Amino acid sequence: MIKEELWQALLAQIQFNISKANFATWFKNTGILSKKEGKIVVAVPNNFSKEWLENKYNKLIFKILHSLDEEVKEIQYDVTKPGLKINQPSPTSVEVKDQFSQLEFQEFKVDKVTNLNPRYTFENFIIGPFNELPQAAAWAISNSPGSVYNPLFIYGGVGLGKTHLLQAIGNEVIKKYPQQKVKYVSAEKFISGIVNSIRNRTVEKLKSVYKDADVLIIDDVQFLAGKEKTQEEFFHIFNNLYQKNKQIVLSSDRPPKAISALEERLRSRFEGGMIADIGLPDFETRVAILKTKSQEKKISFSDEILEYIASNIQRNIRELEGALNRLVAYYRLNDQLPNLETTKTLLKNVIFSPKKVASPEKIIKTVAFFYDIKEKALLDVCRKKEIVKARQVAMYLLRGELKSSFPFIGRKLGGKDHTTAIHSYNKIEKEIKNSENLSNEIDLIKEQIYRL
Ligand code: ADP
Ligand code: MG
């Protein structure tokens, strides 16, 4: 990476680590003066900045630069002499960006009474096969709270839209029925509220707030597990609301059955209405989510880039958004769309690269593919010469890469005796030493195994 890109990438990352005000103050008019043999000289506009960067941000700057470019070993800060032109982001871009994000920030204020954040709506909730059902149920409820499914229980993994959907229900109800009292609360807050009110002897007062609601939404109820006293209070609130046909909406990271230490009577209440789960978004939906979110920000990244993100982040919509936000930050600082190379660098720390590990299945698959034979033939008793050789190679790799036991290897490949496995391993090991061809083949196979 050239020094300009390196600094841009650093700025894009650093703003996720420090406050906006600090970012604008300390990183305005900075850039890289030179980069030589692992030493980076950072240009700063004045002594004041120099001191701050050196004393407060040096660690962070180093960490990020080093993660972007392993060659970076040392950083020095220099106040640039007047007249020296620094290669740096256009100085205004930092300010522009700052105004921008403040705007975005102010738009969404959590309502003090309902606890709802207006940013979560049905309009910006993207539907795919994985969340169709919970979305439809949530929508139905917001049209006629209290009379369709009660309670509605939505569960699913982290970052997949539970909170978004729950809050969208609340926001939609208020839009359609402004006189209805909606109350959204995370289970954690609910619990601490109960605990405090017990201490202050104000339980009844607190309960009356909840019992007053027309729509009560409690997020992440798995946290109620093991909290007996809270569960008891909640049970009473629940019954009270339920009897009055008030809508209750709950979410959890797992189905009611799987929440341990949940009182049976509460569990059966949770299961009494509609249970809908949010699964994992498929590739097309992940791309659609990225497209929609970049359109919202009026930026169009190339398909190649969106597909790169979508193929690498598969299980969490929050992470998809996070990755996109980094690219957005880069774009706003540079007035330029990142290319694939830059994208990879920018997302290096975000994209979880699954540890490249071998598994018996991977080894067998790769060996079969490499020798162009059917996996089944490899696992079978077939004695054809080429197949026998491939099978021996697979046995060799199972032992060498996975330290599998010989009986396991024998069983795995055609139900052979462990002595066959030992024999194969020794044979290939010996042959590698004499045959460059075989040795190359095995290297190639290994490369493929660890690349998959
Ligand atoms: P959870 O509560 O399941 O952990 P969130 O509701 O907080 O997840 O979602 C994480 C982020 O992803 C939020 O910013 C949310 O707006 C966004 N998100 C989740 N699902 C969708 C969706 N279907 N459409 C658009 N944005 C979504
Ligand atoms: Mg949530």
Calpha distance 249→111 (Å, rounded): 18
Residue 87 Cα to ligand 2 midpoint, Å, equals: 42
Would you state the pLDDT for residue 452? Answer: 59
Find out whether 80 and 44 touch, Cβ atoms under 8 Å. Answer: yes
Chain centroid to CA 196: how far?
A: 34
Calpha distance 217→250 (Å, rounded): 6
Using only C-alpha atoms, the chain has a radius of gyration, in whole angstroms, of 29
Spatial CB neighbours of 301, under 8 Å, sequence gap ≥ 6: 290, 294, 324, 327, 337, 338
Would you state the pLDDT for residue 93? Answer: 41
Residue 219 Cα to ligand 2 midpoint, Å, equals: 7
Looking at ligand 1, which atom is closest to the CA of residue 220? 2
Calpha distance 152→320 (Å, rounded): 27
Find out whether 62 and 54 touch, Cβ atoms under 8 Å. Answer: no
User: What is the number of the ligand closest to the CA of 123?
Assistant: 1
**Positive/negative CA dihedral, 332, 335, 339, 341:** negative
The structure tokens listed for 321 are 């958004």
Q: pLDDT tens per residue, the chain (452 residues)?
A: 788 888 988 888 888 777 776 777 778 888 998 999 889 999 988 777 788 888 888 888 998 898 888 889 999 999 876 445 444 444 334 444 443 443 344 456 899 999 999 999 999 999 999 999 999 999 999 999 999 899 999 999 989 999 999 999 999 999 999 999 999 999 999 999 999 999 999 999 999 999 999 999 999 999 998 888 899 999 999 999 999 999 999 999 988 988 878 888 999 999 999 999 999 999 999 999 999 999 988 999 999 999 999 988 888 999 999 999 999 988 988 889 999 999 998 898 777 555 567 888 999 999 998 888 899 999 988 888 889 999 999 999 999 888 888 998 998 898 888 999 999 999 999 999 888 888 878 887 887 787 65
Calpha distance 69→50 (Å, rounded): 22
Ligand 1 first shell, C-beta below 6 A:
124-126, 131, 156, 158-164, 289, 317-318, 321
Looking at ligand 1, which atom is closest to the CA of residue 292? 25
Calpha distance 364→379 (Å, rounded): 9
Cα separations (Å) of 445 from 146, 355, 361, 392, 399? 60, 18, 13, 13, 14
User: What is the number of the ligand closest to the CA of 122?
Assistant: 1
Residue 318 Cα to ligand 1 midpoint, Å, equals: 6
Residue 166 Cα to ligand 2 midpoint, Å, equals: 9
User: What is the number of the ligand closest to the CA of 253?
Assistant: 1
β-pairing verdict for 247-252 and 152-156: parallel
Find out whether 182 and 142 touch, Cβ atoms under 8 Å. Answer: no
Protein residue with its CA nearest to atom 1 in ligand 1: 159
Q: Maximum CA pair distance of the chain?
A: 85
Residue 267 Cα to ligand 1 midpoint, Å, equals: 26
Protein residue with its CA nearest to atom 19 in ligand 1: 161
Residues with CB under 5 A from ligand 2 (ion): 162-163
Residue 292 Cα to ligand 2 midpoint, Å, equals: 21
Task: State the residue for tokens 């205004």.
Answer: 92
pTM, 2 dp: 0.62
Looking at ligand 1, which atom is closest to the CA of residue 157? 3
Protein residue with its CA nearest to atom 20 in ligand 1: 161
Counting runs of H as helices and runs of E as strands, what totals does the chain give? 21, 8
Report the alpha-carbon angle 228-159-273, nearest 5: 50
User: What is the number of the ligand closest to the CA of 119?
Assistant: 1
Residue 319 Cα to ligand 1 midpoint, Å, equals: 10
Looking at ligand 1, which atom is closest to the CA of residue 135? 23
